[in-house]
């Protein structure tokens, strides 16, 4: 477990839930809140600032550190201090000691 004093941000974790529109086969995605007020730490992930071939700037990425909880790829993470929304792209569990996730901003 990571000490609480090292985790300086509070986050909310939301899980995507798929359902179908009644009478059609069109999927609809909604988010179900799994946990709020979880202590975590965001570290910048070294996002390049140059534009790609299509002229788009890349999304900012961060490394997220937190104690073990339910977190998987494609879960939505909301930083409670400013309301910024991120999507988890990769989650690593280090022997049940802590989780390290790569998250990118949701535009």
- What are the tens digits of pLDDT across the range 42-91? 888 666 566 666 767 677 888 899 988 889 999 999 999 999 999 999 99
Going along the chain from its start, the domains and CATH numbers come out as 4-46+58-105 (2.40.10.370)
pLDDT of residue 73: 92
Find out whether 62 and 47 touch, Cβ atoms under 8 Å.
Answer: no
Instruction: Report the alpha-carbon distance of residue 75 to residue 87 in Å, rounded.
Output: 6
Q: Is the pTM of this model over 0.95?
A: no
Beta pairing partners, 34: none
pLDDT band at 13 (very low <50, low <70, confident <90, very high): very high
> Is 32's pLDDT higher than 70?
yes
pLDDT of residue 7: 82
pLDDT of residue 96: 83
Of the chain, the percentage scoring pLDDT greater than 70 comes to 88
């Amino acid at each position: 477990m990571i000490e609480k004093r090292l985790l300086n941000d509070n986050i909310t974790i939301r899980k995507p839930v798929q359902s179908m529109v009644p009478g059609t086969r069109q999927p609809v995605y909604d988010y179900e809140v799994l946990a709020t007020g979880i202590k975590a730490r965001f570290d910048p992930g070294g996002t390049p600032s140059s534009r790609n071939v299509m002229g788009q700037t890349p999304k900012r990425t961060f490394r997220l550190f937190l104690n073990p909880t339910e977190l998987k790829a494609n879960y939505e993470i909301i930083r409670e201090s400013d309301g910024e929304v991120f999507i988890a792209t990769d989650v690593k569990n280090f022997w049940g000691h802590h989780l390290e996730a790569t998250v990118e901003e949701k535009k």
